[in-house]
Structure 1
Amino acid sequence: MLTRDYCITMARYNAWQNRNLRKLLQDMPPEELTKDRGAFFGSILATVNHILWADTTWMARFQDKPLPGGTAQTSRDFQPTIAAWSGERFRMDGHIILWAEKAKSLDMISDLTWFSGTLNTTVSKNLGECVVHFFNHQTHHRGQVHAMLTQMGLKPEETDLFLMPQSGPWL
């Protein structure tokens, strides 16, 4: 069974990694952030936008709130600049941590039902599996950003979970 502690650990990991990315991306020229680098969503900004859009979408589903709108393909334009992305990313990371701290292990065995725009149908899946997907999706696409930054000759901070500080700041 998926536990509240797992959710908290992954929420903190997510926030820690995004904090590291925000520090690295905030001083990059816009043309470097928007340059197509051959990744699935093209550029660094498009990829971090997709992650933020997906996080916003999944959190809305988990909490039965309105969806942010758009699609996976339009998500690349979710925020117009790295400054706008950074502010929304900070807010969303705090939101995810608060959600994780309130998560109940027993809820993780229930089903989550939503309309999937990607599949154009209603889907029902185990909530715990959706939560694992949520955190895995973040890590997957941040890995793409890490690769793009490394190809640029930059050195992103460590990403190994066991190196995460045991206490904040997460944000």
Structure 2
Amino acid sequence: MTNHAGEMYHYHVWANQTILGRIGELPTSVLHQEVNSSYPTIAHALSHIYAVDTMWYKVLSGMGMQEALQEGMPLNAQILPSIEEYTQAFAELAERLKQWLQGQNDLEQTILLDNPFAGIRETRLSEMVLHLVNHGTYHRGNISTMLRQLGHASTMNDYALYWYQGLA
């Protein structure tokens, strides 16, 4: 049986590495240059993706959502000074989540998710992984727009490119 959620998570890791790599090619000032967009800087957008990925990792690992939010969301405000530090942080978190995925026999298993913003819901582990991926895709789009507003081209990180590179 194909593990679609796991495959999508691997795409998410690749897409994050791809956009981080592109930012690393640009002048270092781009990371913290202010722009009128969804986030004041690209660093803020990266911190948000990282914070949410961390929060979902904690939930997937068995922590209650309220506690995971309390632990993960302060990372939103933790703005790192360099793209290398973001790259390292994302790589370390990706490794922890990959290890978690390898230990799962049934991503269709449900848990009772108590979301303080939306209420209680039976939720499959695979749904949470797919949400994490979708959330990252949305905000990588924000980052691409921010790069263009700052006068720089972004880079393609679509799922279809991931297929055609033979990674899926």
Q: Same fold (TM over 0.5)?
A: yes
> TM (normalized to structure 1)?
0.76
Identity of aligned residues (%): 19
Aligned twin of 1:124: 121
CA displacement at 1:136 relative to structure 2: 0.7
Unpaired runs of 5+ residues, structure 2, are none
SS at match of 1:155: coil
What is the aligned-residue RMSD (CA, Å)? 2.8
CA displacement at 1:158 relative to structure 2: 1.8
- Are 2:138 and 1:136 aligned? no
CA contact (8 A) 2:15 2:158 kept: no
- Are 2:165 and 1:163 aligned? no
- Are 2:75 and 1:78 aligned? no
Unpaired runs of 5+ residues, structure 1, are none
Give the Cα–Cα distance (whole angstroms) in 1 for the partners of residues 34 and 93 of structure 2. 26
Give the Cα–Cα distance (whole angstroms) in 2 for the partners of residues 112 and 78 of structure 1. 30
Deviations 1:41-80 (A, max 9, x none): 3210000110001000000000025737253xx5432342
Map 1:48-87 → 2, pairs under 5 A: 48-65=46-63, 67=68, 69=71, 71=73, 74-82=74-82, 83-87=84-88
SS at match of 2:36: coil
